[in-house]
Chains A and B, each alone.
Chain A
Amino acid sequence: MSENLAKEWKNHVGPKRALKTVFYAIIIAALVVSLRNIEIIPEFLKDTPEQLMDLFRRMWPIDVKFLWGFVAPSILETIHIATLGTIATLIITFPLAVLGSKNIVRNEGIRYVMKFIFVASRSVNSLIWALFYVAVFGPGPVAGVMAIMSRSIGFVGKLLSEAIEESSRNQIEAVISVGAPPVSVFLKGFWPQIRPSFLSIALLRWDINIRETAVLGIVGAGGIGLLLESAIDVFHWPGVAAILLSIFVVVLLAEFLVTNLRKKVI
């Protein structure tokens, strides 16, 4: 018998090994083709260390006056855009996610409309949304809020819908069995089950939105990105350093806050 199993094992594992070899070969081929295609010029790479050092030297010391006078208000605006965009997203998306969950809405048509909205929202990058809204509303934070919202609806909607669909049927059935009206069934059957996911998704998206808002200004949608672009345009490197440093600090703080809050929620 053992001889038979050894043979079977060989037959079982042999084709898989061949498949693996082909897989690695494809990856290496892809790497080679891409490298040729983008044509890296070695001369430009050679002086990278000097260029880098030169940039750092021009950035140091950072412009402290600029930091408090211009960067701080701009960073604050960035946080406001991200926060407002996230809250608007949650208010709009909650009912949509409920309508998109198959254990609440039986009608497949309605659910597909919701899925379509979520996919459409996610398939467009926030920067592209921002370009669109800058054209509609003109440059400024309104376009930023709209862009953040348009991109977040799909993310929050998809995750929230999944959380609703994962609710335990047993707990819901008990609330139905006491004769509770549908709204009460949602409040006392579904909501306690999805609340941790909801808060967790909201915090996570807020964190992502702060990072995304930081670049939106490049296309004119308000926030720190706007300042960054102008600072680079006039080669004001100590200012650029101040901006990059503040973005880094804010993102780090947001990450820290969100991680700790999410731990408490769950």
Chain B
Amino acid sequence: MSEAILQIRNLSKSYFHKQPVLHDVSLDVKPEEILIIIGPSGAGKSTLMRCINHLITPSSGHIYFKGLDIPSLHGNQMRACRRRIGMVFQEFNLVERLTVLENLLIGRLGYMKPLDAFLQRYAAEDIDAAEALLTRLGLREFALKRADNLSGGQRQRVGIGRALMQNPELLLVDEPTSSLDPKTSVEVMEIMAELARERHIPVLVNMHDVNLARRFADRIVGMREGRIVFDGKKEELTNDTLAKIYGGDSWMH
């Protein structure tokens, strides 16, 4: 495998003194891989992801993204870095009162002047790109409908579309299926994996559903209490390691 896209080194984060949420985490994301982090609620998966996008500043450690050390960035540099990283959220986080199309175009805001955003002057290429994506996501007919008219699965597909509109070099996906039913979950994961592979974008996903992780991951990382306790291929994920990640094994039977 070639060099990592993202290198996390000795990352720690604590909100309260001596109660670390992340404890000395080191992790590499390699090009074009789908890396899924599993673990119980409160294991620090979301915190890790938010540190990568600098929505949270870590207490110590480094996150190298193509030569940039993300936690040390500020202002314009930080925003220029953020627009190269797409993010998909558990609650979809669509702007409810905007149209589906404009929600996708939000992905371009990092490249636009605020005045153009104010006047809704989006570039023709951007609208074309949005149309192509909406067609792929099966949402073309909803383009000019308001986002709050959509179902959960449709909303999450809009969330994926918005992130891809950034032409990201990395996709961060935070619990994408926790608000969806099992069938929709698989459909959403499928279209996301497909689009990411086509565009050669590495994907880092958080989830607690082990079966879904097994189905879509190239590599799985297990987290517990702010530490990485497993890192390997999905075939190596045994019941013993699962017991180590989630604690106990009674839930498996």
In chain B, what residue has the closest Cβ to A176?
B55
* Contact digits for B146-184, partner A, Cβ 8 Å, 1 yes 0 no: 000000000000010011001000000000000000000
Contact present for A178 and B83 (CB under 8 Å):
yes
Please tell me if the beta carbons of B83 and A179 are within 8 angstroms of each other in the complex: yes
Contact A181 B94 (CB under 8 A): no
A178 contacts B166, C-beta separation under 8 Å: yes
**Chain B positions within 8 Å of A188 at CB level:** 95, 98, 102, 106, 109, 117
- CB closest chain-B residue, reference A182: B114
A174 / chain B contacts, CB cutoff of 8 Å? 87, 89, 93-95, 106, 159, 162
Partner of B55, one of A177, A183, A189, A193: A177
Report the nearest B residue to A175, measured CB to CB.
B106
Residues of B within 8 A of A189 (CB): 95
A159 interface residue per 8 A CB criterion = no
Inter-chain contact B79/A171, CB cutoff 8 Å: no
A180–B109 contact, CB under 8 A? yes
Q: Determine if A15 is an interface residue (Cβ-Cβ < 8 Å).
A: no
Q: How far is the CB of A228 from chain B (nearest CB, A)?
A: 44
A173 within 8 A of B: yes
Q: Which of B82, B97, B102 contacts A177 (CB 8 A)?
A: B82
**Is A170 part of the contact surface with B, judged by Cβ < 8 Å?**
yes
A181 near B95: Cβ-Cβ < 8 Å: no
* Interface residue B91 (Cβ < 8 Å from any Cβ of A): yes
**Contact call B82/A179, Cβ cutoff below 8 A:** yes
CA distance A175 to B114 in the complex (A): 13
Interface size on A, residues (CB 8 A): 22
Contact-residue size bin, chain B (C-beta under 8 Å from the other chain): 20 to 34
- Asked whether B107 is an interface residue with its Cβ less than 8 Å from the other chain, the reply is yes
The smallest beta-carbon distance between A199 and chain B, in angstroms, is 12
- Closest chain-A Cβ to B109's Cβ sits at a distance in Å of 4
Query: Which residues of A (178-202) have their CB < 8 Å from a CB of B?
Result: 178-181, 183-185, 187-189, 192-193, 195-196
Contact of B91 with A170 in the complex, beta carbons under 8 Å: yes
In the bound complex, residues from chain A placing their C-beta under 8 Å from that of B91 are 170
The CA-CA distance from A195 to B146 in the complex, in Å, is 15
**Chain B 205-233 near chain A by CB (<8 Å), digits 1 or 0:** 00000000000000000000000000000
Q: Are B79 and A179 in contact, with the CB atoms below 8 A?
A: yes
**Assembled-state Cα–Cα distance A67/B162 (Å):** 61
Contact A178 B107 (CB under 8 A): yes
Pair B112/A184 contact, Cβ less than 8 Å: yes
Which residue on chain B has the smallest CB distance to residue A169?
A: B93
**Smallest CB separation, B59 vs chain A (Å):** 20
Give every chain A residue within 8 A of B96 (Cβ-Cβ).
Answer: 168, 171, 192-193
Point out the residues of chain B lying under 8 angstroms from A178, CB to CB: 82-83, 86-87, 106-110, 162-163, 166
For B243, the chain A residues whose CB sits under 8 A away are: none
Q: Interface 1/0s, chain B 73-115, versus A by CB < 8 A?
A: 0000011111111110101011111100010001111101010
Shortest beta-carbon distance, B111 to chain A, in Å?
8
B251 at the interface (CB under 8 A from A): no
Contact at A170–B93, with CB atoms within 8 Å? yes
In the complex, what distance in Å separates the CA atom of A27 from the CA atom of B97?
Answer: 48
Nearest Cβ distance between residue B78 and chain A, in whole angstroms? 8
The 10 closest A-B pairs by CB, nearest first: A179-B83, A179-B110, A179-B82, A180-B109, A183-B114, A174-B93, A179-B79, A192-B97, A170-B93, A177-B87
Between A and B, 22 residue pairs with Cβ closer than 8 Å are A171-B94, A171-B95, A173-B55, A174-B106, A175-B106, A176-B82, A177-B55, A179-B79, A179-B80, A179-B81, A179-B109, A179-B110, A180-B106, A181-B109, A181-B114, A183-B117, A184-B112, A187-B114, A189-B95, A192-B95, A192-B96, A193-B96
